A and B are shown apart, each in its own frame.
Chain A
Amino acid sequence: MEPSAKVDTQPKPRLIVRLGIFLASHHILFSALCCSAGIIALLFLPSLAKNTYLSENALIPGSANPLFSSEDVTEANKFIKGIEAAAGESRGGMEMSKFIVQQMKDLGAEVCYHEFLPHSKHFHPLKFFTSMTNDLAVRPNGTYSNSGTNTIGIIRAPRGDGKEAIVLVTPYNPQRVQANEVLSLALGFSVFSLLSRAAWLSKDIVWLSADSQFGEYTAVSAWLNQYHNPMFVGGVKHEPDGIAEKAEFTDFKRAGTMAAALIFKVGETRNYGDRDSVTMYAEASNGQMPNLDLLNVVHYLAVHRQGFRVNIETISSLLSSAWLRAIAEVIHTLGSILRKINPDWKLDITASDYVEGTANLASSIYNQALGVPTGSHGAFRDYQVDAVSLEFSPTFYIRNENAKSSFLVRGGRSVLTGLLQA
């Protein structure tokens, strides 16, 4: 009797320990189970996601009156003509930035040039953890042709205290001017000119027309680096260059702390779809994302106010894949059954929406996992500034004047209203 009781009580461990042992001994089974549960949850995500969530921060998007009028469009058209003439005049690209500076000055903005050298692509294992500040400020003698020139205009908010600034970025390549880049500059200009007349601004507005001959990212990050980590040793004294006016504008000008940044450009003409579309890019380096309110507001305004079609990047192969469509059907039927049980559960979405949502999701996951920024907004995120890239894709042929005007109106409005909320 005595020994048998000992055998019964002694080797029996506690329940939690026994469960642990059990899990450990069947770890392959359990990991497979968890993994598949994760994938199923992920597949359910597009149908579970609410359409557009707006947090209170963004108050009432679109409540402001769109001020962008046809007058601004005629201004912008004038600007396009001027800049095309300037681009035709010189191959060096200096004429274009001179023209932009002149236009900005006429609007009463403070103007400056920022010269930079292309970021060397070499990988320095020793410098990996230190920031590379030196390689941009120093300029080797005599190599003028190698440097890019950003043009910066700053509107000081009349009644503001100048603590904060919003940055607008329009990239263009002065070496090889294209119609869509000119259009994006014109869009930037018209928005800038409208804001220069606004007395209600509370934040300063900075317009950076970035010289993208070495890539957009390089130009923007060089400017941001100069803004946040300037070098005071060397590089300050410029010998008077060939251009006389330029010396006047070489002092680097600043506004306050950056609150948000908006990069907008006009893409190539795309012929699918019946509406002009806006493509949003938000993924920055190491999978960082800006404040999602910024994305949601832009999305909301573009869709509900301006009738743009908003694209978010997708993985196109997923759009046509048969298996995803099959899953979509399954989820659709499952959703409709669930809906019959309780009409409040809105889980059924149409198969095509589901496929698109999944493709968006997959692309976003891919970009965030890859950790490579999808545009120059990545440079802003490195300095904890919320930024989003908008690429407008018109459906018309870019040389068409009338279509251009109406496009400018809508583009301008959407950018502006987006800005107001930022």
Chain B
Amino acid sequence: MMPPSTARRLCFLSLLLLLLLLAAAASATADAAAAEEFTEELLLRPLPDRKALAHFHFRSSAPPASAAGRHHHLFPKAISQLVQKFHISELELSFTQGRWNYEQWGGYDPMSTNNAKPPGVELWAIFDLPLAEIDATWKNLTHTLSGLFCASINFLESSTAFSAPRWGFKLNEGNLRYGALPREAVCTENLTPWLKLLPCRDKAGIASLLYRPSVYKGYYHSQKLKLKSSQSLGIILDQTLTVVLQPNTVSGKQLHSTGGQLQPSWSMEHLFSKKLSGKCLVSKSSRVFVEIEKGIVDNVDKAGSDVSSNNDLFVLSTAPDRSLKELDNLEVQSSSLYEYDVNNYNSDKPLNVGITWKLPLIWSCTRAPYHASRFLMGSGNERGSIAMSFLSTGLDKQLVDSSNDCSIKAVVFQVVPWYVKVYYHSLEVFIDGNSKAISEVVDKIHVTPSEDKLLPGTMEMLLKFPCSMQLATLTLDFDKGFLHIDEYPPDANQGFDIPSALVSFPEFNSSRSYPEADPLFVSPLLENFKEDGVVKSYTEVLLVPLTTPDFSMPYNVITFTCTVLALYFGSLLNALRRRIGEEERGLKKAGILNKRGLIPLLIAKLRGQKVDPSESESTSPASLPRSKLLLKVVFVAVVAIVFHYLSNS
């Protein structure tokens, strides 16, 4: 038996142990909280065609899974579960409405290369799995995402909808899957689940600016989710929303005219009908940037004043906390950024950044070396061709000295659904009006031909254009296929979509670096700008009219077939059951065989045949009941007509 004192001591010890354990656990969670980070940033930029661009960037990061356990403070649990379950090492999902205008809004900056997306939904993912399991995992992933984001991403499940590019989209070892749904309509039901992943949702911080009517009134809006996960870094989730808005200060009349008029002045309140009243409290940093493009900076320099927040051309409504200058490889300043720290503002002193123009200004964005566009040729429901044209924008002349053997590389990646049966051997290349041999232009090509109802056709091409080229056109012929009646989508008469092709120029890099003295200044937005930025542009979505059946046809066919079957069955049964020989014998015995029907008698009369006297004997007694029958019929008809007339009047 144990003495009571020892029992008490034991009790005390265990209590102490428990306390210690609790303290350890608390410190562990505190460590995890320190490692889980959230930052929010917003970038505003005036565009040359009197519009304004707003780019929201939210980054949540979680430490490697083993350290944190299963619980998170800031990081969305849904995403971490998704990453763990499907072994994703990279994923990008974008919802886009409208087209990015590569001519006006730029095609050679990090914004256009990373955030300009094709209309509809685009999803790609790299899996950290053996190759054999990837397709099955992809299918599960599409279903999960479709539930998470309230979108029909699950249509990417079918093997006809996704492809596995090797190098045309992004260099990989066969563990990348890519799918696009160009027809998916994007609206607020997709934005709400996206906002749910943020720790403050849209209740506080920069996300509170997302006033739905102004976001969806915009000319372009693209909402993106990008995931990166690795054993060493943990999970990094970047959520971006890019919108192009028309400042509502101008009346409709001024909407387009560019010459000699002042650019519209705008502020946050104009764009979003709201001011920014403080940051999301759990965020590590919360910043707003205003970016001034190189075109404007050059103009300011020309005007002879310093590029500050208040110069001869424009004035920013609030003085910035800091200004950053981008340096390109020639150490020449190209664009400048003005930074505002939201920490310094609160609901009493809200932040309302705006720009007011003093002088009319016309500038243009830097464009990609070639303007790529794609169109359909031919007419009719049988065949057609896809053409892709590359029109030089004149950029190459500035960058590359035009020696004779210089060339510019372009990579084309295109997925075509199976019912558009592309004949890849029919590829033709025309440069400046001359037909060229394919080997002269195409450096490398990788084609996965489509298989009916199984695989889409995928084409990856590395092209080499001479620097002096003005216009190149590639054409590919195709046949239009037939679909099963079940496979037609709603409104099939409108046509079928071919998703956008991606054109990238690997020799041109749009990344921007902002040399900064302060090592503590860390901005994920600017980090993203610094990352690899191969110039990319998406082409238009194409609409192919296919033969569509009259959708009432199946019912007609069913009715018709049933009628024919019934007739056939009836007559067959009749023929099988009757014994003609026996019947005739029986009739002859009864002596009625000679009696003919009404129709043969009529025919005989019409032909002028004389009716046999023997037959006329038999007809005369029969004529009396026949006239009686006629009378009956007439009587019934008259009664019916009278009844009808009386009942109506």
Contacts and interface: CB of A to CB of B under 8 A. Distances in A.
Contacts of B391: 251
A235 B430 CA distance: 12
A233 B430 contact: yes
B255 A158 contact: no
A106 interface: yes
Decide if the interface of chain A is mainly helix, strand, loop or mixed: loop
Given A197-B255, A199-B217, A383-B379, A163 B432 contact: no
Interface stretch (A224-232, A268-276, A402-410): A224-232
Given A199-B217, A237-B433, A256 B540 contact: yes
Interface string B566-583: 000000000000000000
A400 interface: no
A232 B471 CA distance: 10
B170 interface: no
Size bracket of the B interface: 35 or more
A257 B543 contact: yes
B648 A163 contact: no
Given A158-B98, A229-B377, A342-B648, A384 B545 contact: yes
A232 B379 contact: no
B118 to A, nearest CB: 9
A106 B376 contact: no
B429 to A, nearest CB: 9
Given A196-B256, A341-B644, A384-B545, A237 B432 contact: yes
A257 B593 contact: no
A161 interface: yes
Nearest to B500: A161
B432 A236 contact: yes
A34 to B, nearest CB: 19
Interface residues of A, number: 39
A342 B646 CA distance: 11
Contacts of A158: 98, 219
Contacts of B467: none
B430 to A, nearest CB: 4
A15 B599 contact: yes
A329 interface: no
A229 B256 contact: no
A120 interface: no
B645 A108 contact: no
B542 A256 contact: yes
A156 B104 CA distance: 13
Interface string B97-129: 111010000000000000000011000000000
A246 interface: no
Contacts of A142: none
A139 interface: no
Interface string A1-25: 0000100110000010010001000
Given A108-B256, A343-B648, A383-B379, A159 B543 contact: no
A163 B543 contact: yes
Given A15-B599, A161-B99, A341-B648, A254 B541 contact: no
B256 A159 contact: no
Nearest to B473: A232
B119 A161 contact: yes
Nearest to B216: A159
A383 B380 CA distance: 7
A162 interface: yes
Contacts of B450: none
B615 to A, nearest CB: 11
Interface string A185-217: 000000000001101000000000000000000
Given A233-B430, A233-B433, A383-B379, A159 B97 contact: yes
Given A5-B588, A9-B584, A257-B495, A230 B377 contact: yes
Contacts of A5: 588
B543 A164 contact: yes
Contacts of A162: 99, 540-541
A240 interface: no
Contacts of A236: 432-433, 471
Contacts of B218: 159
Given A108-B256, A254-B375, 13 more contacts: A15-B600, A106-B256, A108-B255, A159-B219, A163-B540, A199-B217, A228-B379, A232-B433, A254-B373, A257-B543, A341-B641, A341-B645, A341-B648
Interface of B: 49, 97-99, 101, 119-120, 182, 217-220, 246, 252, 255-258, 373, 375-381, 387, 391, 430, 432-435, 470-471, 473, 475, 494-495, 497, 540-545, 584, 588, 593-594, 599-600, 603, 606, 641, 644-645, 648
14 contacts: A106-B256, A161-B120, A161-B182, A163-B540, A229-B378, A232-B475, A254-B373, A257-B542, A257-B545, A341-B644, A341-B645, A342-B644, A384-B381, A384-B545
